[in-house]
């Protein structure tokens, strides 16, 4: 059996992980709907705050188990003041604000909008990496990311006016959910860039554990300040924990194990290729789990986004065939490539 498992290609692990992560948005929405059908004194026990808080606790348990050897051999005294500033900053942006905004968006907008608008992250990361870090890219990659960026804007601008709209001036109205997704993606981008600039030498396991701890504490403090203690009154609900254990087993444990196994057996281009199927897998999962069919705006914007992703992949392959060595990408940077993982 072990020999058979060893023969499974790394790309297969990555594809399974991407499918699991892509389904996380639809699963999260389904869980909140189940909570709405099982209210506790008029409250939804599966609110976005409870999902994020309990999900982070489950993720922390997993991370400690996965990286226990790395954690045991590492001393926090090795971290400098600059490292701690970077870790706290990344935890605030990508560990607390980004997932909170995306989960809030899932409560008021279509899952497909969250998936498609969330693809705004890679073009922004590319632009900032080129400008700030002087990373090398070719015209195919740049063209692909610009096209994907255009697709995201069209997805937003072509939406039919509904409730929860915000007047941006000049007759332009955008949905609150769409704005939250964009803001969450930008927070994730900021966290990724900070990580690239200041935290390259910190091992993935140490980085992930500390980010999760700080991000959970920061999120809890912000939620307590805004909503008060009563907002977490149902956090120990057996109904919530029953579903969160299942959620954690599928998304957190299953997804992370497949993803990390794939990272160890593949290259950066393989990760990029597997991740390019994320939007399609997410939209299909939204339809199968929630019965949410894409709208005309999502078809148009999504088609353009997929064309941009295709151009990007051509650029990645062309870059990889050159005789000049490609830049080394750490396991931590490849782990961030997949974006939102449902927690």
**Looking at 1-10, 34-43, 224-233, which range is the least confident one?**
1-10
The answer to whether the CB of 272 falls within 8 A of the CB of 316 is yes
Provide mean pLDDT across the span 44-56.
Answer: 85
Q: Is the pLDDT of residue 274 over 50?
A: yes
Q: What number of CA atoms fall less than 13 Å from residue 221's CA on the CB side?
A: 8
| Spatial CB neighbours of 185, under 8 Å, sequence gap ≥ 6 | 98, 102, 117, 118, 120, 121, 124, 339
Where does the pLDDT of residue 328 fall: very low under 50, low under 70, confident under 90, or very high at 90 and above?
A: very low
pLDDT above 80 (res 2): no
Task: State the sign of the Cα–Cα–Cα–Cα dihedral 66, 215, 249, 339.
Answer: negative
- pTM given for the model: 0.82
């Amino acid at each position: 059996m072990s020999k058979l498992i060893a023969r499974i290609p790394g790309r297969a692990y990555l594809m399974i992980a991407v499918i699991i992560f892509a389904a996380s948005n639809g699963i999260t929405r389904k869980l909140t709907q189940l909570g709405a059908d099982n209210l506790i004194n008029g409250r939804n026990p599966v609110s976005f705050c409870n999902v994020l808080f309990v999900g982070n606790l489950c993720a922390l348990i997993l991370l400690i188990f996965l990286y226990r050897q790395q954690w045991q051999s590492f001393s926090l005294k090795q971290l400098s003041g600059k490292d701690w500033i970077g870790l706290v900053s990344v935890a605030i942006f990508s560990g607390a604000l980004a997932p909170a905004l995306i989960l809030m968006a899932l409560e008021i907008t279509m899952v497909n909008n969250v998936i498609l608008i969330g693809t705004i992250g890679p073009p922004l990361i590319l632009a900032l990496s080129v400008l700030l870090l002087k990373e090398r890219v070719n015209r195919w990659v740049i063209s692909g990311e610009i096209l994907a960026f255009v697709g995201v804007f069209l997805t937003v601008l072509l939406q039919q006016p509904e409730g929860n709209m915000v007047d941006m001036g000049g007759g332009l109205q955008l949905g609150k959910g769409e704005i939250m997704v964009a803001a969450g993606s930008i927070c994730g981008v900021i966290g990724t860039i900070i990580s690239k600039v200041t935290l390259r030498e910190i091992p993935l396991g140490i980085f992930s554990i500390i980010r999760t701890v700080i991000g959970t504490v920061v999120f809890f403090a912000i939620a307590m300040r805004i909503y008060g203690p009563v907002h977490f009154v149902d956090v120990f609900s057996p109904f919530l924990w029953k579903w969160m254990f299942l959620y954690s087993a599928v998304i957190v444990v299953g997804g992370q194990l497949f993803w990390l196994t794939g990272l160890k057996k593949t290259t950066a281009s393989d990760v990029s290729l597997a991740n390019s199927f994320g939007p399609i897998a997410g939209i299909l999962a939204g339809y199968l789990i929630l019965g949410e069919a894409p709208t005309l705006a999502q078809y148009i914007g999504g088609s353009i986004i997929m064309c941009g992703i295709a151009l990007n992949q051509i650029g990645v392959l062309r870059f990889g065939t050159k005789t000049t060595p490609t830049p080394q990408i750490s396991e931590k940077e490849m782990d961030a490539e997949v974006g939102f993982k449902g927690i």
